[in-house]
Structure 1
Amino acid sequence: MQFLRLPDATLHIGDQGPRDGRVVMFANSLGTDLRVWDPLLALLPTDLRIICFDKRGHGLSDATPAPYGMDQLVGDAEAICEALDLRDVTFVGLSIGGLIGQGLAARRPDLLRALVLMDTAAKIGSSEMWQSRIDAVSAGGLPSMAGAIMERWFTQPFRDARPEFALWTNMLTRTTVDGYTGCSAAIAGADLTESTRALTLPVMALAGDQDGSTPPDLVRATAALCGAEFHLVADAGIFPVSNSPRRPRDFLSSFSKGPTHEPL
């Protein structure tokens, strides 16, 4: 078990693969922990150095008092890169993880070689919508919202037929209230349209065709904003890595723009 101690929090980190391997860093979504990537990681080449982490208030990381700001969450990812001496990183961000990746690419282009945006956008939802969710979770806890959230996350066939669906519900409901509402506040205050428009590194965007949280058209618009490749993953919600992990693996493996950006 690895960790990074920051001035105000201790973050849980996963670091696997050869120290000299090409680095792929994964940032997961709101209400999940780094285990969300397990189905995909099992399919990736073993010569990569894989970095995952739990956002503050998620998984095994400390839950600092809400609200959080996007700059704060980007700073956490930046601190991990600095502490582990990571450079030439391919950053893969899902949902809020994609916002963190966009922010890190704008702030520290020297750290990243490429960016993969998965079911995310430069701006997600309205501040009013997020405040309503923050109020509901603060009042009733995450179990009170779990049913509605799961409907947005997963397709009906997945919810009906996959026995591991219960584990995803558990992952969500065991997220701390501070972690969920704090990160919700960070999303509510984030509009990265202009900084993402200015990105010059290679970018690829993926969207599940049945994602109810960040619909494909929203992801496609962000891809167009920064000249990214765009791919639609069939029969998937916000977690293409769980619905059909081989499709995201195939897209990641073929992702190459420019002579210094080899495929995974």
Structure 2
Amino acid sequence: MGRTQEGELNYRLDGPQGAPVLVLSNSLGTDLGMWDAQIPAFTEHFQVLRYDTRGHGQSLVSEGPYSIEQLGHDVLALLDTLNIERAHFCGLSMGGLIGQWLGIHAGGRLNKLVVCNTAAKIGEAAMWNPRIEMVLRDGPAAMAGLRDASIARWFTEDYVLAHPEQVKRITDMLAATSPQGYAANCAAVRDADFRDQLGAIKVPLLIIAGTEDAVTPPSGSHYIQEHVPGAQYAEFYAAHLSSVQAGDAFSQRVLAFLLND
């Protein structure tokens, strides 16, 4: 466990000690296990630091609502706890919002930044508020319903048919997420809007999108690319969880970016 100002973050370190550090940040409703497919390739070159975002997995569930700024400070506190001065950062969806905040406000702690299946602003309050209310009202039953609904958002239909065990493993993470933690993180995503701040990102940036992603369509990724000079862009046939669905192709594109000076 790593310390924040308010409690514990669950984390895992894989890969060779002394290698450059790559931080991986999960999406809303998953935990650090969403990155399992990337670990063999990434640990050939990096010490990989995965963690459960506050309110998820085995990390603390503090009083909500949360903010992306708060979640970004959690990352900085974890780096401080582990005496890591600088690291690469790769985040997906909500993790991509955290990455944008770090790039804007704490670029001196980053070497390179990868944001995946995200946007400078994700959705509107009219979408998020009913979900927050439902989850706080219905608790675990609501999380089970969200799990079932997430299958079509997170993966394409052909992937669901071809990889049912993988789909179940990932979506079961959502059903196991604390309703209070999930609702608090929904509020963080709802309130985040970096559209006017993207120009402050000065670290090398790679943006990854999924062609079939209805949650954060490629248009949102193109917006980030247009507002961050020099940003690179990649797109894979995938829905919202491109790291899972694109698997090794995703890993190799991230490695090509991180290892190329």
Q: TM-score w.r.t. structure 2 length?
A: 0.93
2:227 paired residue number: 225
Residue 146 of structure 2 aligns to which amino acid in structure 1? M
Paired with 1:18 and 1:88, the residues of 2 have a C-alpha distance of 16
The 1:105–1:128 alpha-carbon spacing in structure 2 relative to 1, beyond 3 Å, is same
Aligned counterparts of 2:115 and 2:52: Cα–Cα separation in 1: 18
Residue 240 of structure 1, CA deviation: 1.7
Say whether residues 1:214 and 2:216 are aligned partners: yes
Aligned partner of 2:177 in structure 1 is: 175
What do residues 39-98 of structure 1 show as CA deviations (whole Å, max 9, x unaligned)? 011222424111110011111111112211111111101101111122331110100001
Distance 1:109 1:166 in 2: 36
TM-score when scaled to structure 1? Answer: 0.92
Taking the TM superposition and a 5 Å limit, the aligned residue runs for 1:245-256 are 245-255=247-257
Partner in structure 2 of residue 263 of structure 1: 260
Of 115, 139, 157, 1:117 maps to 115
Consecutive unaligned residues in structure 2, runs of 5 or more: none
Q: Sequence identity, in percent?
A: 32
CA distance in 2, matches of 1:175, 1:184: 12
Higher alpha-carbon deviation: 219-228 or 108-117: 219-228
The aligned counterpart of 1:158 is: 159
Residue-by-residue CA offset, 1:181-232 (whole Å, 9 max, x unaligned):
1110001111112222221111000011111211111112112221311111
RMSD: 1.6
1:259 counterpart residue number = none
Check the 8 A contact 2:103/2:200 in 1, yes or no: no
Shift of 1:161: 2.6
Partner residue, 1:15: 13
| Residue 192 (structure 2) aligns with | 190
> Which of the two has greater helix per residue?
2
- Name the residue aligned to 1:61: 59
The answer to whether the Cα contact below 8 Å between 2:72 and 2:98 also exists between their aligned partners in 1 is yes
Aligned length in residues: 256
How far apart are the structure 1 equivalents of 2:119 and 2:215?
A: 11
Q: How much does 1:18 deviate?
A: 2.4
Letter in 2 for 1:237: A
What is the aligned partner in structure 2 of residue 27 from structure 1? 25
Say which is worse superposed, 3-12 or 97-106, in terms of deviation.
3-12
- Cα offsets for 1:132-165 (capped at 9, x unmatched): 2112222332112222222111111122231322
Quick one: distance in 2 between partners of 1:218 and 1:54? 25
Change (3 A) 1:219 1:115: same
From 96, 102, 105, the equivalent of 1:104 is: 102
